[in-house]
Amino acid sequence: MTPRRIAVVGAGMAAARFARRVHELAGPGAVDVVLYGAEPDRPYHRGLLPALLAGGYAGASLALPTGAATVHTATPVLALDPAARVLRTAAGATPAYDAVVLATGAEPILPPVRDLYRPAPRPVPAPATATASATASARHGADPGTLVAPAARHDTPPALKAGVHLLRTLADCRHLAADAAPGRTAVVVGGGALGTGTAHALAARGLRVQLVQRAPHLIPRHLDAPGAATVRRHLEAGGVRVHTGRTATALTGPDHVTGVGLDDGQVLPAELVLLACGARPRTALARAAGLAVRTGVVVDDRLATSAPGVYALGDCAEHRGTTGTDAETAFTQADVLAARLGGHDPAARPAAAAPARFRLSTAGGELDVASFGDPRGDAPHTDTVRLTDATRGTYKKLVLRGDALVGAILVGDLSAVGELTGAFERGESAPPDPLQLLITEGAPS
């Protein structure tokens, strides 16, 4: 039997999980899975990049298994033709497929900061022959049978000012590490999970670090104000100066960054700046191929897009109006789609919206944070139980609706996280004294 050809556009965490699981479920020789990754590295655990920067992991330990799949690194897919079921790669190849899975992930959001980019070079006039050729192409139009790469319709984006970094890929991590010499001044713009973890990592490397967070407290999506205050104390104890409720408005320095201007008039000195302002679904390929796209690539309960044979999962997908999946949700989607395309369970479908789960663990364990469900207790008819130990730097909170556990926050001591997460997922009732769930053997009391 000829194996079913499945192309996966992207080689991130969700793609690797799908590739491994579809081979396991389909059985030997049933599927031929090929991953096309834009990065030069094979699939790895992206969430561990801050810990890698801090020296808590070796690069090889981040690698993810892909089963029997073929992985093409540094081979971005430039175009997709759903009608012909063909891809076009940057290398010029046009592989055919029976099904294609879009796992293109997300791209960093750049903040509206003045002087973020290097000065544009002076334009070089194009040769007359090139201009004539371009004019002729425009006059006659493109061949309707030609796959057009989305990138071909845009100018090359401007380069970030020297010393300004993102942290989305292993290559980003290597560049940041090379620039992060001990004693240098650094400013992290963004106080979510990535910004907080990276600020801690840079301070651990011996840099003088300041963090700018627009929201009133750190990691607002996953923590309440007291939990965030505990995280802030951990950061400040490690040498990070935190500015909450402040917005970065401009960078200083002609070619290389020298500082970050804030909305209150301060200018923070900076030889290095990390932008950690969130990410948005990467959808250019899907949009150019004519797929339905809103914030993300729109998928139904089968994770199918608007084009036959084209599926999407992970950060690039929008399922029932929800985007921005966490790792666990992306893995669940990968398992569901592997079951469908592997013929194991054609009726498999993901949950409409899995409860949010968050985990931040730094190298050395100095700053460990976890939350799940409704950690802030914003929903009506909820009660909270808190246990704080300022001496040990721990904060624990349960959110209850009646006797049902609907959310939790743990900072500084994650010894109860396994039991709490299990009770939450199984829908178990809390004991008459819910505080018992927070006091584990050997934990502070």
Contact present, 140 and 309 (Cβ < 8 Å): no
Q: Which residue has the tokens 């199918």?
A: 304
Contact present, 52 and 62 (Cβ < 8 Å): yes
CA R_g for the chain: 24
- Decide whether 4-107+279-341 matches 164-275 in CATH topology: yes
Kindly give the pairing relationship between strand 310-312 and strand 279-281. unpaired
Q: What is the pLDDT of residues 218-229, one digit of tens each?
A: 999 999 999 999
CATH of domain 164-275: 3.50.50.60
CA atoms 63, 69, 74, 78: torsion sign: negative
Strands (DSSP E) contained in 225-332 are 240-244, 248-252, 259-262, 267-269, 272-275, 279-281, 297-299, 310-312, 317-319
Burial (0-12, 13-18, 19+ Cβ within 10 Å), 418: exposed
Q: Which residue has the tokens 């992306």?
A: 330
Residues near 245 by beta carbon (within 8 Å), at least 6 away in sequence: 213, 214, 215, 216
Measure the CA–CA gap between 107 and 445, rounded to whole angstroms: 43
Q: Which H/E stretch holds residue 72? A: strand 70-72
Contact present, 382 and 401 (Cβ < 8 Å): yes
Kindly give the pairing relationship between strand 99-102 and strand 310-312. parallel
CATH class of 357-437: alpha beta
Contact present, 329 and 323 (Cβ < 8 Å): no
Contact present, 407 and 374 (Cβ < 8 Å): yes
Which letter, b or e, does each residue of 359-369 get, where b requires 16 or more Cβ atoms within 10 Å of its Cβ? bbbbbeebbbb
Contact present, 333 and 303 (Cβ < 8 Å): yes
Q: Is the pTM higher than 0.75?
A: yes
Q: Two tokens at 239?
A: 């040498």
CATH of domain 4-107+279-341: 3.50.50.60
Instruction: Give, for all 445 residues of the chain, the pLDDT tens digit.
Output: 688 999 999 999 999 999 999 999 998 889 999 999 999 999 999 988 998 998 877 767 899 999 999 999 999 999 999 999 999 999 999 999 999 999 999 999 999 999 999 987 666 665 544 433 333 333 333 333 335 444 434 456 789 999 999 999 999 999 999 999 999 999 999 999 999 999 999 999 999 999 999 999 999 999 999 999 999 999 999 999 999 999 999 999 999 999 999 999 999 999 999 999 999 999 999 999 999 999 999 999 999 999 999 999 999 999 989 887 788 889 999 999 999 999 877 666 665 545 667 888 776 667 899 998 888 877 788 899 999 998 889 999 999 988 889 899 999 998 888 889 888 888 888 888 888 888 765 444 3
Q: What is the pLDDT of residues 155-190, one digit of tens each?
A: 567 899 999 999 999 999 999 999 999 999 999 999
How many other β-carbons are positioned within 10 Å of the β-carbon of residue 177?
A: 17
Ranges of each domain in the chain: 4-107+279-341, 164-275, 357-437
Residues near 435 by beta carbon (within 8 Å), at least 6 away in sequence: 385, 387
CA 387 to chain centre: 31
Contact present, 369 and 419 (Cβ < 8 Å): no
User: Looking at this protein, which amino acid is placed at residue 37?
Assistant: G
CA atoms 195, 200, 205, 209: torsion sign: positive
